[in-house]
Amino acid sequence: MCGRSSLTKTEKELEERFKSSFYSDELIRYNPLPNYNVAPSHYHPVITNTEPDKFHFFRWGLIPFWAKDQKIGYKMINARVETLMQKPAFKTPLLKRRCIVPFDGFYEWKKEKDGTKTAYRIVLKQTEIFSMAGLWEKWTNEKGEDIFSFTVITQAPNSLMSKIHDRMPAILNPEEERLWLENDVPVEDLVKLIKPYPDALMDAYKVSSRVGNVRNNDASLIERLPEILEKPKDQSSTEDSNRHTLFD
């Protein structure tokens, strides 16, 4: 599951990276940047297939148009690529309402043998800003107000992520981003874009456990914690010498 991320760049940096612009009134209304601890229910910038040259702020956690309560969005922050065409909440958005979701990192927790969890931040090595494939929806509440929401697509992990978690977000290459937003691409070809991002192009490092509390939102959350390596008992043992190094 991908349920916590970061986007610490300015709107100008995002506009330059994606060649899309923000609506001034939405920036004034939400003013979400920078956000070191993006969480479900937060409003976050997305670029949709219906207006690919503009950023919009949508609520994280997809609310299907047929939902009776917006709380269902908390259960739909992610959409598994394997079942997109089987789930009623995701099938139509996959065909008609796709988006890309910009981030500069995401967090995941690794379960340790002693039962504790270690927080990691995952970033890309060759670009500071990247995008995840997403779906969006419009839901109207009892007051007649439209709420726009999105979900992030997830997939099986690459070798790096498998050491931390059993899922990873669908990260798109820059050349695939606009293709994901094209309206005339067959759905079979769209799904083929969802593949594990090369682990050699990613980096994962430990961060403060403070990121687990959504109320914490400051630059210290993305700081790399120092690795503490224990001295192996047998210096001649390659297995022992690598025991405490998670990533090569």
Is 108 a residue of the active site? yes
Phi-psi region of 133 (alpha: psi -120 to 50; beta: other; left: phi over 0): beta
- Digit-by-digit pLDDT tens for the chain (248 residues) are 578 999 999 999 999 999 999 999 998 888 788 999 999 999 999 999 999 999 999 999 999 999 999 999 999 999 999 999 999 999 999 999 999 999 999 999 999 999 999 999 999 999 999 999 999 999 999 999 999 999 999 999 999 999 999 999 999 999 999 999 999 999 999 999 999 999 999 999 999 999 999 999 999 999 999 876 433 444 433 333 333 333 23
Give the active site residue among 2, 99, 137, 176: 2
Is 227 a residue of the active site? no
Q: Can you point out the beta strands (E) in 10-82?
A: 21-22, 35-38, 43-48, 54-60, 78-80
Fold of the domain spanning 5-241 = hypothetical protein yedk fold (3.90.1680)
Helices (H) and strands (E) in the chain, counts: 6, 14
> Token pair for residue 241?
């010498």
Q: Domains of the chain: which residue ranges?
A: 5-241
Q: Count Cβ atoms below 10 Å from residue 152 Cβ, excluding itself.
A: 28
Give the active site residue among 11, 26, 82, 108: 108
